[in-house]
Structure 1
């Protein structure tokens, strides 16, 4: 997939379109696959093809996914791909009205729940991943004492490191280095708390 820009979601309609449990799963699966048909995605989420097609069209209405070039000779198949290189949803874009703040909170909780479920699935299946992947997988917690500006700087530095590694890995995969390569989720949270 050609490198696409990350899209910052600032409108309530697009946030609500993405913040549907099945749509978010479909978006994530499509992002990982780079392109897929509704039939392929339906198998992965154990839902009817017609339901998956409906939700893909809803995501497309908000510019989150788009039709892709066909990857097979079957003209009846409709291929889909992410329309952007990812999405960003920020609290500051949804603070100006109670309905927006509530929708952002609900979306954030859904995203967190799905990320936690991804990690729980890995934990349940880790015996099947083998020693190398289990030694490479990480789970850590750091308790820091920072200012908002320092946390912002830390977040930017971490995202820069992640992007550098992603760019390198994609280039290697494009060059044919696919042996041992798997999808990897990296979830990082930085938030204040009081004890």
Structure 2
């Protein structure tokens, strides 16, 4: 099955609940980066048993987030998995805040995603000396404090998304052409939210 070309927007509470379990979000992210993998390969990365990872992959498949990859197993014993959408997934909290349960689930999933991102960045900070000067000079972290309207924040979000997509397409094109020298996975985390001092 060829991955979908657009992001998978989650609008049903039952599907969003699949990610309350933090291991499922971790497995989804690893599978997204890998392109395809077996439960055993993913189990090694998360420090869990292949049977537990298989269980969670099947749960993600039940909700349409991952699918068994066809034609990848050499001997038929290994099950390979792919994400369904090569553009990833997303959800809007506003789709779920009309009920207490929906608001609680959206909040729990959002906090889980944030915790995963923070853990990923902390790992980089702990290991940055091993990346060398070229990568530590290239990596960035910045914060800007500006006064905007909600409409302006939404417009900025759209602009950032378009910029990130253009860089992702550039990367895909380069990899497809065999230009892999010096390329690494790079995480880009952006947040824009209101606050009152």
Does the alignment reach a TM-score above 0.5?
yes
Runs of 4+ in 1 over 4 A off after TM superposition: none
Of the candidates 152, 170, 176, which is equivalent to residue 168 of structure 1? Answer: 170
Match of 1:61 in 2: 62
Q: TM-score, normalised by structure 2?
A: 0.96
Q: Where in structure 2 are the equivalents of 1:63-102 lying within 5 Å?
A: 63-84=64-85, 85-102=87-104
Match of 2:133 in 1: 131
Query: Which segment drifts farther, 34-43 or 1-10?
Result: 1-10
Match of 1:7 in 2: 8
Aligned equivalents of 1:52, 1:148: Cα separation in 2: 40
Q: CA deviation at 1:189?
A: 0.2
- What stretches of structure 1 of length at least 5 have no aligned partner? none
- What stretches of structure 2 of length at least 5 have no aligned partner? none
- What whole-Å deviation, never above 9, does each CA across 1:86-120 have from its counterpart, x for those lacking one? 11111111011011001101111111011000000
Match of 2:24 in 1: 23
Aligned equivalents of 1:56, 1:67: Cα separation in 2: 9
Aligned equivalents of 2:115, 2:9: Cα separation in 1: 21
- Secondary structure of the residue aligned to 2:90 is strand
Aligned equivalents of 2:143, 2:73: Cα separation in 1: 45
CA contact (8 A) 1:34 1:81 kept: yes
Match of 1:32 in 2: 33
Aligned equivalents of 1:137, 1:33: Cα separation in 2: 22
Aligned equivalents of 1:37, 1:70: Cα separation in 2: 13
Aligned equivalents of 1:129, 1:115: Cα separation in 2: 19
Q: TM-score, normalised by structure 1?
A: 0.97
